[in-house]
Chains A and B, each alone.
Chain A
């Protein structure tokens, strides 16, 4: 149980285009999901907290108009990188709290985005 999936696992796009990444909780409901970004050889940095049925909360320095988050159901959150640029190339990982008492974070497998 407690599986989180992401799609796509990797994507290459051209500069200026938009890319949508999906994060799904497969066997549990998640009113909250978290989006992290990880640059090569660096740690995971929280980008935003996705809240089902309400607006996402963004961390300082993360442009909400560039990284659009939609959490339209209890099992799906999407991150859209708009007008992507090469500096947006990174590993994007989502997570959701689950388990008994929501006492653990379950991570998706990540999405490798390369912007050319």
Chain B
């Protein structure tokens, strides 16, 4: 089955700096790669996703890149703000909706003002 590795487990950045979180996956058939932000005690919130026919996607300060050959994808947050502090999870699945997601272990991001 799919295995998703996520690094780093914790990340501290100064406000205004960029943050990068990286994930690798094992199942070459996976084709949907979402990123979630989770605050304590709340549901995961989708912040951006990418499908295997796209190499990069950007939404304001957030971008995701995908390298299918190397089986890795990354989340980039620019101009970080204190409210970006949370736990971020990457995930992968074979289908964009009807199959379950396999999550990485998460990255605790702290943005220091």
Contacts and interface: CB of A to CB of B under 8 A. Distances in A.
Nearest to A9: B41
Contacts of A34: 100-101
B100 A104 contact: no
B105 A101 contact: no
A113 interface: no
A104 B50 CA distance: 11
Interface of A is mostly: strand
Contacts of B98: 32, 97, 102
Contact of A102 (B42, B89, B97, B101): B97
A43 B97 contact: no
A93 B45 CA distance: 12
Contact of B97 (A91, A97, A107, A108): A97
Interface of B: 32, 34, 41-44, 46, 49, 89, 96-98, 100-106
Q: Which 8 A-B pairs have the closest CB atoms?
A: A97-B97, A102-B97, A103-B96, A107-B43, A43-B103, A34-B100, A43-B105, A44-B103
